[in-house]
Amino acid sequence: MYETTAFRCSGCGSTMLIPNPDGTLTCAYCGTTYEVTGRTCPNCGAVNPPEAEHCARCGRVLDLVGFILQSRLQTTTRERLEQIRAEAARLKAESEAASQERLRRWWAEEEERRRALAAAQAERDRQERMMLTGALVFAAVVILGILIYLVVTALSAP
């Protein structure tokens, strides 16, 4: 996995784009694939002509075997380990930031879902209260009607 600072994924904004053998780049986080003409330098992200052996911007060898040989000859084991540690720390921080962003979005979605559920429950409660009030008014009218009927029949009876 390489960082290509010249490109950002339009899907998630990550700079972690993986060069593929077919000349495309794939985002390490969301999997979006981008077609790139020429050879992309995995070190600086510069697009070079397809026949280029070295990056025009940073001078890195563009073929994997050449890069491995060049890196072994130019750096000590300690330097390579430090580079790997730094890369691992950066990857961890970027991964953690992406994870925190996803968690923030999920919490926001969950909060919105809870608000919608609470609003729906409040509407159901309001409708139940209206139905209960209507039933009580109807019962009162029926009882009042029965009482009036009984009073009228009692007064009209000899």
> Taking the domains of the chain in order of start, what are their residue ranges?
1-74, 77-158
Evaluate whether 65 touches 71 at the Cβ level (below 8 Å). Answer: no
Residue 134 has pLDDT above 70, yes or no: yes
Q: What percent of the chain has pLDDT over 90?
A: 42
φ and ψ at residue 71, rounded to 5 degrees: -70, -35
**Residue 7's pLDDT is what?**
60
pTM exceeds 0.85, yes or no: no
Residue 36 CB neighbour total at 10 angstroms: 17
Phi-psi region of 55 (alpha: psi -120 to 50; beta: other; left: phi over 0): beta
- pLDDT tens-digit readout, 85-123: 999 999 999 999 999 999 999 999 999 999 999 999 999
Most confident of 20-24, 62-66, 71-75: 20-24
Of 58, 31, 63, 32, give the one whose Cα is nearest residue 45. Answer: 58
- Residue with the larger pLDDT of the pair 36 and 147: 147
Phi-psi region of 24 (alpha: psi -120 to 50; beta: other; left: phi over 0): beta
